[in-house]
Chain A
Amino acid sequence: DAGVIQSPRHEVTEMGQEVTLRCKPISGHNSLFWYRQTMMRGLELLIYFNNNVPIDDSGMPEDRFSAKMPNASFSTLKIQPSEPRDSAVYFCASSSESNEQFFGPGTRLTVL
Chain B
Amino acid sequence: RKEVEQDPGPFNVPEGATVAFNCTYSNSASQSFFWYRQDCRKEPKLLMSVYSSGNEDGRFTAQLNRASQYISLLIRDSKLSDSATYLCVVPDYQYGNKLVFGAGTILRVKS
A103 and B96 in contact (CB under 8 A), knowing A42-B101, A42-B104, A43-B101?
no
B63 within 8 A of A: no
Give the residues in chain A near B102, CB-CB below 8 Å: 42
Smallest Cβ-Cβ distance to A48: which chain B residue = B98
Q: Report how far A56 CA is from B99 CA in the complex, Å.
A: 12
Instruction: Report whether over half of chain B's contact residues are helix, strand or loop; otherwise say mixed.
Output: strand
A33 contact set on B, CB distance < 8 A: 98-99
How far is A97 from B49 in the complex, measured between Cα atoms in Å? Answer: 14
A50 to B96, CA, bound (A): 9
In the complex, A97 Cα to B44 Cα: how many Å?
Answer: 19
Contact (Cβ within 8 A) A42 B96: no
A75 at the binding interface (Cβ < 8 Å): no
Tell me the count of chain A residues lying within 8 A, CB to CB, of chain B.
Answer: 19
Name which residue of chain B comes closest to A108, CB basis. Answer: B41
* Contact, CB under 8 Å: A42 / B97: no
Cβ-defined contact, A56 with B49, below 8 A:
no
Residue B42 interfacial (CB < 8 Å): yes
Say which residue of A31, A97, A104 sits within 8 Å of B43 (CB atoms).
A104
A43 x B98 contact (CB < 8 A): no
Interface residues of B (CB under 8 A from A): 32, 34, 42-46, 49, 87, 91, 95-104
A-side residues, CB < 8 A to B, are: 31, 33, 42-43, 45, 48, 50, 55-56, 91, 95, 97, 99-101, 103-106
Query: Which 6 A-B pairs give the minimum distances between C-beta atoms?
Result: A103-B43, A42-B103, A43-B101, A56-B95, A99-B97, A100-B46
